[in-house]
Amino acid sequence: MSVSVLYMAMSLDGYIAGPNDEPDNPGGDGFMRLHEWFLGPDGEFARPSGPAGELYDEVMDAPGAVLAGRRTVEQVDHWGGDHHGRPIFVPSHRPPGPSVANYPLVTYVLDGIESAMAQAKAAAGGRDVLLHGAYTAQRALEAGVLDELQISQIPVLFGGGRRLFDVLPSRIELEIVRVIDTPRATHIRYRVRR
């Protein structure tokens, strides 16, 4: 059975993007600091050693589909229509721009987050659905369609930017499933209690 999982790196003060997070500066100032835990010395993606490497493998291999917010996908031009070969579902209140026609793996879903998640889980073929985007994560929590959160807590204070949980409709209880502590990050996996 497919499980929906939000994978997100976050500063200790709750930011997933630095200041000046705009289309010409995706992730804002200092954004890559949140991802240094899986970057090699040359700044390229690299599998870390030890338990963090196992998490890296999980992030790369477990998802069968991606559900991402419109702001997220537009900032990265829908990953060029290819997020590691997985179908991408975008919940939105309005139809996509014309460039999406060039990306057959990208589907805009106009009838709500619940429908988008159902379509993503069906497309995932029993594998996980990887969720991207703060606003989308908040809406998925609100709708009860986000199952787990994998948060990589980075030992830095941003002091400004875009927060992961800026506005939640109500209190949400979580259960800690796993903790992987490394010198570069503490990775905590939570299950949403229902």
pLDDT at position 8: 94
Low-confidence ranges of the chain (pLDDT < 50): none
pLDDT at position 177: 97
pLDDT at position 54: 86
Q: What is the DSSP string of 41-58?
A: TTSSB-PPSHHHHHHHHH
Tokens coding 53: 């490497």
User: For the purposes of burial, counting CB atoms within 10 Å of the CB of 194, is it exposed (0-12), middle (13-18) or buried (19 or more)?
Assistant: exposed
pLDDT at position 76: 83
Q: Report whether 87 contacts 66 (CB < 8 A).
A: yes
pTM, two decimal places? 0.91
pLDDT at position 58: 83
Q: What is the distance, to the nearest Å, from the Cα of residue 178 to the centroid of all Cα atoms in its chain?
A: 18
Domain ranges for the chain: 4-192
End-to-end CA distance of the chain: 17
User: For 4-192, CATH number?
Assistant: 3.40.430.10
Helices (H), the chain: 50-61, 70-75, 113-124, 134-143
